[in-house]
Amino acid sequence: MLMEGSIPGFGRRILALAYEFLLLLGVWFIAAFLFHLVFRDTSAEYFRPLFQFYLLCIGGIYFIWFWTHGGQTLAMQTWKLRLVSENGGKVTMQQAMVRYLMAVIGISFLGFGLLWALFNRDRQFLHDKLAGTRIIRLS
C-alpha cells in the first residue's frame, strides 16, 4: 500500500492530465460561447489572437484557483492526487502562476516539460521543479 504523500507514477499523472484536458474542454466551450456573445465579428483581424489569449487566461484561472484552494483540480480529486509546495504546504498564488505558465510553455515544446519527469531523479515535471511544487498521491 502506498503511503500518503508518495510520488505517483508517470502513467497515473498522464492519465489524470488527459482527464483534466477533457474537463478543460468543457470549461473552454462555455467560455468560448460567452466570448462569441460579446465579440460577434469573428472575421476581424484581431479576433483569433484575442480569443486564444482569452482561453489561455480562462485555463489559468481554472488551474490557479483549484491549486491555491485545496491543491486539487476535479481530475486530481478523481485520481487522488494533490499539488503541494516542496515542503508539503499549501501552494501559493505565485507558485501556481509560475507552474501554469511553465506548464503551457513545456507542453507547447512537444511535451518536453512532461517528458522531463522520465529523466528527473525526483520524477517531477519540469514545471513543478521550476515552481517549487510537487504532485503527491493520496491514500
What is the tens place of the pLDDT at every residue in 3-54? 457 889 999 999 999 999 999 999 999 999 999 899 877 777 888 899 999 9
The residues with which 135 forms a beta bridge, in sequence order, are 83
Assess if residue 80 is contained within a domain: yes
Q: Which residues pair with 58 in a beta bridge?
A: none
Measure the CA–CA gap between 100 and 97, rounded to whole angstroms. Answer: 5
pLDDT of residue 4: 59
1 within a domain of the structure (yes/no) = no
17 burial via Cβ count (<10 Å: 0-12, 13-18, 19+): middle
What is the CB neighbour count within 10 angstroms for residue 75? 19
pLDDT, tens only, 77-131 = 999 999 999 999 999 999 999 999 999 999 999 999 999 999 998 899 999 999 9
Question: Quick check: 2 pLDDT over 50?
Answer: no
∠ CA 95-63-114 to the nearest 5 degrees?
Answer: 75
Does residue 2 lie in a domain region?
no
Q: What residue numbers bound the domain in which 92 lies?
A: 10-137
**pLDDT over threshold 70, residue 134:** yes
Residue tagged 511553465 (cell numbers): 102
**Cell numbers of 41, please?**
465579428
Domain count, the chain: 1
Classify residue 18: in a domain, yes or no: yes
CB 63 within 8 A of CB 57: no
User: Own/partner pairs for 30-33, CB < 8 Å, 24+ apart?
Assistant: 31/55, 31/58
SS3 123: coil
Q: Does the residue 3 lie in any domain?
A: no
